[in-house]
Amino acid sequence: MRPTFIRVEKPKHKLLNPEYCPTPLLPPSQRPPIQVLALDQHHQYGILTVLFRFAGFGLDRLGDKLRGRSNPLRSAVAARELFQGLGGLWIKLGQLLSLRSDVLSDEMCDQLSQLLYANIGFPGSVVREAIERELGCPVEKIFSRFEDAPLAAASIAQVHRAVLRQEGVPVVVKLLRPNVIEAFRRDMSLLRMVVGFLTALLPVGHMRLNEALDELDAMVEEELDYAYEASNSRRLRKNLRRHKVYVPYLFRRYCTGKLLVMEEIQGVLMSEAIAVSKQDPERFDAWCEENAVEPRKVAQHLFLSNMRQLIEDNLFHGDMHPGNIILLRNNRYALIDFGTIGALDPDFLQIYFGVLQAANQRAYGKAADLSLHMCTEIPQFNIGKMRSELISAIKLWQARSGMETLGYHDRSLGASGKIMGQVFAKYQLQVSWAALRMARTWGTLDTSLAYFDPEMNHRRMFSRYLKAADQRRRKNAVKKIREGFMSTLQTANEYRVLLEPIAQRATIAYKQKLNKISMATTTVIRFLLIVTLLAIIFCVHAFLHQHFFDLGYLPGGELVDDFPSMEKEWFVVALFGLGLVTGLLRRLLRIASSAYLR
């Protein structure tokens, strides 16, 4: 029996408030154990085995068709069993193909979407060796307690419960499977070979299998490097705090590209709650009452938060299946597993939001026109007829969304994609993978919403979201204005930094030219000032010589004798004029000198 870990009362880190931790829904003894096998016992199939199984699947379907016993549901179940038996990357491919509701039957999409990884783990000794290799020290030095029995296991990772020695905090340790990177890359090469055979032998070009493999390759490469998940976790933890959605704290000092150590959330998995609600409704109702959980409110919060992640944040959890949602007290919940995080092109996001908004406003023509832009190409024929059918499809979904007598999956937002996808398939329109990723996000979330609020009206919920989003925009208007003002100041400062050296060089060049002009001007003024002073001295000399004393014996006496005779008054006027000229020249000299000094 596993020990029950106790959360520390005053954690040093920003961990989940213990008041939100609910009581257990099931005792540990009633949970199915994880089967553990040695690494060499895990199945790995070669190209011949894979081709043989696909050939057997194709021959069985051909035989059913020839005998007139073709059944879409039986074919879909066989396809699911085929991918499930191959395991690993084939399961991910099957899940990806389940998005192609535009080319596959509803039965096939439904069965492929149910693909799950077998809960088969690997031994604890291998886990300890891998952790010690990643952290460079014994497990006992990092963890005061470590459970060898896995808490969960999947195709890529395995999860164990532990307690950090230094922090004293219960955590979960998520470790990448040994040799999984090499195995997945080998399977990817095998997948490309099989797809090449199928494309060459069968008319499956419209399914764009090569593009599906490229999408799968990019997705798996991110999931195989935990640096991506650690970054995604930190970003969503910050964003979802505003949504009142909890994301576990990540202890980054113990994380590597193959190892994650995060806070353990003492809650109940949505998948467990759904299973108990079907098998033992009375127990589930009692648990909800004890922990102040109203399933309908939880479902509505999930819908509104997911819409906000998509439209406002453009950063959303791309795999919202019930196993990644943990229920807490008071209608709260936490999200885990951030290996698949979505962020869409802003132009596509605007188109997607425009389609939803137009449909909500019953502007069906506008919704149909915008939905065509979610396809990779628009055909040049039958556009009018195709547009009319799209309008009819959108109207049909709008009518169904309010019919409580219909099943949830016939009224959900995902149903609108299926109805429109049938029109796209009829006219051989290729839907973009961005639109398919959106469909996958809503499809996985629908599994939880269908059980917690089976009567949900998606059109009304979207109207409710629009109203709340508008209130948030108004509330943040002042903040955005302030941010815009600060951004303008920052931009102005950046331009100042860029232009200042240019202005300095221009100023230096200007000053150099000004200094040359000032120097020449100063020289000329000084010369004129000297001439004026000499003229004043000469006038005084002539005035005294003519009217008071004989000064002919002094130097310059000959010039004085030759100077015309003038009345006293005219000498006073001449001296006054020369004084004014002297004052003006002295002022000009100061101005020119100061310009030169600058």
> Which amino acids are annotated catalytic?
319
**What angle, rounded to 10 degrees, do the helices at 47-66 and 180-201 form?**
40
CB neighbour list of residue 297: distance below 8 Å, 6 or more residues apart: 331
| Gap between the Cα atoms of 22 and 434, Å rounded | 37
Euclidean distance between CA atoms 434 and 579, whole angstroms: 90
Taking the CA atoms of the chain, what radius of gyration do you get in angstroms? 42
Q: 3-state class of 320 per DSSP?
A: coil
259-263 and 170-176 as β-strands: parallel, antiparallel, unpaired? Answer: antiparallel
Q: In sequence order, what are the residues at sequence separation of 6 or more whose Cβ sits closer than 8 angstroms to the Cβ of residue 470?
A: none
Query: Cα dist. 363→132, 299, 357, 398, 495 in Å?
Result: 60, 28, 8, 11, 45
The residue type of 457 is N
Alpha carbon dihedral 222, 226, 227, 233, in 10-degree steps, equals 90
Distance CA 145, CA 338 (A): 25
Nearest to 459 by CA among 512, 519, 415: 415
Assess contact for 418 and 104: CB atoms under 8 A. no
Give the contacts of 529 (CB within 8 A, at least 6 positions apart). 582, 585, 586, 589
Neighbours of 508 (CB within 10 A): 9
Name the burial class of residue 470, with classes exposed (0-12), middle (13-18) and buried (19+) by CB atoms within 10 angstroms of its CB: exposed
**Burial call 45-62: b when 16+ CB within 10 Å, e when fewer:** beeeebbebeeebeeebe
DSSP states of 255-271: --SSEEEEEPP-SEEHH
Task: Give the three-state DSSP class for 157.
Answer: strand
